[in-house]
Structure 1
Amino acid sequence: MMKKGLGGVLIFILVRVCFSMTPEDWVREGKYQEAIKAYRMAISEARNEKERAKLHKALGEVFVLKGEFKEAGKEYLKALTLDRRGFSESERFRMAIHLSWGGYLKEAIEELSEIVKNNPDHLEARIHRARCLSWAGRFKESLKEIETILKVSPASREALWIKANILRWRGNIDQAIAMYKDLLEAKEDFDIRMGLTYALLKKGDRKGAQESFSLLKPVYPYQEKELKKLEEEVVRVTRGSLGGTYQFYKDSDENQLNRFSISGGGWIDPVRIDLHFRHTDARDEDRHHRSEELSFRAYSKILEGFTVGGGGGVAQLHHKKADYSLTGSLFSTLDLFRGFIGGSLSRYVLVDTAQLIDSRIRVNEGGIFISQNLTDELSFYGSYFYRDYSDRNHSHDVQCIPRYLLFSRNPRTSLGYRFRYLHFDKHPRSGYFDPKNFISHQALLSIDYEKDPFSIFLEPYIGYQSFKRYGERDRDFILGGSGVFRCRISRKIDGEVAVEGGNYALGATTGFNYFQLSFGLRIYF
């Protein structure tokens, strides 16, 4: 009886203690889950909106202590919606910072703008507003805010750092590097050196990037996380690699292809050298042929912003008997304005179907291309290629692709238009698509989503195409697209799955409706 009585007393005491504990008590003891439950109960029992707003803010602070900024942001938004005027300027500023860390950039910018409107001299609010605008891809607005800050505080490291980041993201790499270095000369800083290292990687300065990376010393947990992410980029850009890919292709003319490829390479400073082997097994209703291709490619940045490269190889085609062809390429690119221009010469063999292997078509190709970021949102790519075919045919190929960036944050989304003109001199019936006056117009939607360790890229299209072939005019609406799923399996291993298909005549060499699927794996060492 005494044991039962004692047990009951203990249970009663524990219940009283639990119910007498306030949410703040749970927080002080570091028992955040109990604090969250207690705050949610208090919110449900709140007498008015003012009290409920205070409790939502307090609950948000608990999530901040846990590092769960997304959840904290939800609570802060509820608090501000219920009673914005009930919070001091400093409280709203702190909430705005955590809103931005939780991904609520639009709401954070609105709150910071309201603070700056009422207190134009609030420099910290202006700085974080500029930072949020840059994170949101609103570079012009961010730079305008930064100029306002620098008029008041010309030596503001935070403002100059944000400006350097914007220059890097906009593609003004040299200017960004100069700003980062100036800031680091005055004082070492982890986040600024991170920006410099990324900029050096983007520029292709592998040695400089590695030296900068070696100087990074994380202090806080978030810095350790960012350093790990940067290390993976450094490995992928500066180390050698070995990879393999399998591709399956099928079209509406019963062409089917299975292709296996292996490639690997590395740096012998200052030259990058890659080796590539590809085996193709192609069949249709009447044929079954295969081919093997072995090639190498080398390139180097010989001057600031000027890259040249080339390669060579041999292709072996198996049909009635083995047949060999030499292949090769030369190319160069020059960094210009906010992009690049380039040109290339190449010789290759068409081996995408059994009929093409049977026809033994060699192609000599020469072309020029340009890519520019015209504004923060608008970009342009254009190209012209002339091709000479071994069956006494030739073609002119023009392509123009303007794109407009709709959303710079994750998922990065852009809307584009692709114009294509292709004209062949003859119709030799060798197995490749050889139209006269081919014209197509396509609307493109590009979506790029990342969530470590995964990334997904999708690009559906819809449009119209017309061409003349064998004396007949053909007009069609076209629909299709492509998608790529990538996974960082480990720090040194990447996996990839890609799919593509549609009825776009130039999507495949044959001009038929097509579908293709590929799997790839790459190891960095």
Structure 2
Amino acid sequence: MDAAYQAISEGRQAAAIRMLRDQLEQHPDDLEARALLAQLLSWSGALVEAGDQAERVLARDPVHPEALRARADAAAWRGDFATALPVYRRYLRHHPSAQARLAYGNALVAAGYLQRARTTLDEFDLQRSWKTFEEFERVTAERQALVRRLHRRSAPSLLVGGTRYRDSAGSRRNESRAAFEQPLGDVRLNLLLELVETNDDQKSSDAHSALLGAEARVTDWLTASAALGATEIRDDQIDGYPVGRLNALGHFDNLDYRLRLERNVFNETPTLLTNRIRLSEMELGSGYAFSDRLQLAGNLTRTRYSDDNDSTEVELTPQVVLRLRDPGVRLGYRRNHLTFDRQSGSGYFDPDRLEADRIMLFATLFLPRLRGGVELYAGQQRFSRFGEPVEQFIADGSARLEVDLGRHLVLQTEVEGGNFDLRTPEGFSYWMGTLNLVFRL
């Protein structure tokens, strides 16, 4: 243990982890070594194993302070608030401290419990006491960081931006949007106004949409959002249609899950708008982390089209994590299976059957003022449409970046392109770019 502490003090965290593993091979009942290992693993990004190691300690000593803190932190950093929040509360009951209360407050903010976070912050201010000046400085800095996070989540925001889309079939799409979000307690109200202008060499059509929605955490393991509105299509005539969506998503232990129900206008191309194609979708998705290195994600999407057509898509993506720490890197394989009842000729890609196999590369970056990600893939797709079989190489890529330009301004950008586009039956090659500005008011 002394050698491990020495390695930690020298910044050799990986070496300390190896030493503790060796120690536990010889002395598996050493709870202090296992709790310290859980803490180091969580700091290194191995959150699944950190939680497992902490649980092994807590099975023997349910109120072990270091194990409780490691278990709560690892779960919170994974977004598993159903596990993290009760463990934080247990920790505070048995081992109250300023830093633990601030960690609990940060988890409440991340979970969306803003009212509880304010109460926790008030209790912290009433109960604070410091043993040393160094502790005072450290905890004061952590408190200020929590106050800033709480203010950002509580402040209303205004988003303005747009998206440009082009494909090899000559379809052009320009999207302009404005969105306003107003937190009200633990509920986030939002209003979205959107204008979509589409055209090609023969036709043009526009869609004007307005949606009013709300989002809230229903329980520690479930967040729900809903929106209702209308879309008006304008070309040679004007028609209006109701639109809406309902989302539910959550995370518990190693499993995440989501449900999406949506009724919308298919507004990707002028042909689709001219034909007044609407769709009703139900998507079920889940992901499971078998370990820190091995994950599996899956989606099932069932779509009903207004031209009396139906499609079913199944997507599976096993992934191997190559790098746990920031920037994170994952390598995966994605399998898509898509079927349609018939070829409707309404302007969307509707094969009898499509199968696609792709190698995926994911990279993510999270810094205090900079967040982003890259997704690249290449593979092969096979499909049959109007009785004609086709096999072709496919490749695609996307990148997104979010930058805090100041306390009140955020820049969001995204670019995407490739030859795996399901929006039109002819235009597989496409590119798309998005730019948004978010003003925190």
TM-score range, shorter chain: 0.7 to 0.9
RMSD of aligned residue pairs (Cα, Å): 3.4
Question: Superposed, which structure 2 residues align to 1:275-314 within 5 Å?
Answer: 275-302=191-218, 305-314=221-230
Residues of 1 paired with 2:153 and 2:225: CA distance? 17
Cα distance change, pair 518–124 in 1 and its aligned pair in 2 (3 A): same
Q: Quick one: structure 1 residues 287 and 406, their matched pair in 2 at CA, closer, same or farther if it must change by over 3 Å?
A: same
**Letter aligned with residue 340 of structure 2:** F
Q: 1:476 to 1:220 in 2, by over 3 A?
A: farther
Deviations 1:222-256 (A, max 9, x none): 54554454444433444432211211111111222
Deviates most, 266-275 or 406-415? 266-275
CA contact (8 A) 2:249 2:256 kept: yes
1:251 is matched by which residue type in structure 2?
A: D
Alignment pair present for 1:96 and 2:7: yes
Residue pair 1:350, 1:357 contacting (<8 A) in 2 also:
yes
For the residues of structure 1 that align with 2:64 and 2:312, how far apart are their CA atoms? 54
Q: Which SS does the other structure have where 2:363 is aligned?
A: strand
TM-score by structure 1 length?
Answer: 0.72
Structure number having the greater helix percentage: 1
Q: TM-score, normalised by structure 2?
A: 0.84
Q: In the alignment, what sits opposite 1:480?
A: 396
Identify unmatched segments of 5+ residues in structure 2: none
SS at match of 2:374: strand
Matched-pair contact (CA < 8 Å) for 1:406–1:413: yes
Query: Which range moves more in the overlay, 514-523 or 356-365?
Result: 356-365
Name the structure, 1 or 2, with higher relative contact order (CA <8 Å, separation 6+). 2
Q: Distance in 2 between matches of 1:149 and 1:391?
A: 59
Q: How does 1:79-478 map to 2 (within 5 A)?
A: 96-100=7-11, 104-110=12-18, 128-139=36-47, 142=50, 156-214=64-122, 215=124, 219=135, 221-269=137-185, 271-302=187-218, 305-333=221-249, 338-478=254-394
The answer on whether the counterparts of 1:271 and 1:299 sit within 8 Å (CA) in structure 2 is yes
Deviation at 1:409, TM superposition (A): 1.0
Change (3 A) 1:227 1:264: same
Q: Which residue of 2 aligns with 1:52?
A: none
Alpha-carbon spacing, 1:116–1:225, altered in 2? closer, same or farther (3 Å): farther
Question: What displacement does 1:128 show?
Answer: 4.6
Distance (Å, rounded) in 2 between the aligned partners of 1:328 and 1:130: 44
Secondary structure in 1 matching 2:422: helix
Kept in 1: contact 2:307–2:344 (CA 8 A)? yes
The answer to whether the Cα contact below 8 Å between 2:115 and 2:185 also exists between their aligned partners in 1 is: no
Tell me the distance in 2 between the aligned counterparts of 1:450 and 1:494: 15
Deviation at 1:501, TM superposition (A): 0.8
CA positional deviation for 1:517: 1.0
Contact 1:198-1:209 at 8 Å conserved across structures? yes
3-state DSSP of counterpart to 1:265 = strand
Q: What residue identity is the alignment partner of 1:176?
A: A
- CA deviations on 1:135-166 (whole Å, 9 max, x unpaired) are 22335665676578779988652343223222
CA distance in 2, matches of 1:524, 1:510: 42
Q: Structure 1 residues 252, 197: closer, same or farther in 2, change over 3 A? A: same
- CA–CA distance in 1 between the matches of 2:229 and 2:86? 41
Whole-angstrom CA distance in 1 between matches of 2:355 and 2:281? 20
Instruction: State the SS of the aligned residue for 2:116.
Output: helix
**DSSP-derived class of the 1:394 partner:** strand
Deviations 1:41-73 (A, max 9, x none): xxxxxxxxxxxxxxxxxxxxxxxxxxxxxxxxx
Of 178-187 and 449-458, deviating more is: 178-187
Change in CA separation of 1:498 and 1:220 when aligned onto 2, cut-off 3 Å: farther
CA distance in 1, matches of 2:322, 2:334: 17
| Structure 2 CA distance for partners of 1:491 and 1:474, relative to 1, 3 Å | same
CA distance in 1, matches of 2:306, 2:426: 17
Letter of the 2:310 partner, please give it. Answer: H
- Given that 2:269 and 2:424 are in contact with CA atoms closer than 8 Å, whether structure 1 keeps it comes out as no
Between stretches 311-320 and 155-164, larger displacement belongs to: 155-164
Instruction: Compute the displacement of 1:510 (Å).
Output: 6.5
Q: Quick check: 2:48–2:74 contact (8 Å CA) kept in 1?
A: no
Deviations 1:248-280 (A, max 9, x none): 111111222221101112233454321101111
- Residues 1:130 and 1:99: Cα distance change in structure 2 (over 3 Å): farther
Partners of 2:199 and 2:257 in 1: CA distance: 39
CA distance in 2, matches of 1:120, 1:302: 40
CA distance in 2, matches of 1:208, 1:414: 35
Residue 232 of structure 1 contacts residue 491 of structure 1 at CA under 8 Å; is this kept in 2? no
**Larger mean Cα displacement after TM superposition, 130-139 or 148-157:** 148-157
Tell me the alpha carbon deviations over residues 395-423 of structure 1, each in whole angstroms, 9 at most, x when there is no partner.
12222223333322111222222222211
Corresponding residue number in structure 1 for 2:405: 489
Q: Which whole-Å CA distance do the structure 2 matches of 1:114 and 1:324 have between them? A: 68
- Greater Cα shift, 420-429 or 211-220: 211-220
Describe the SS at the equivalent of 2:274. Answer: helix
| Number of residue equivalences | 433
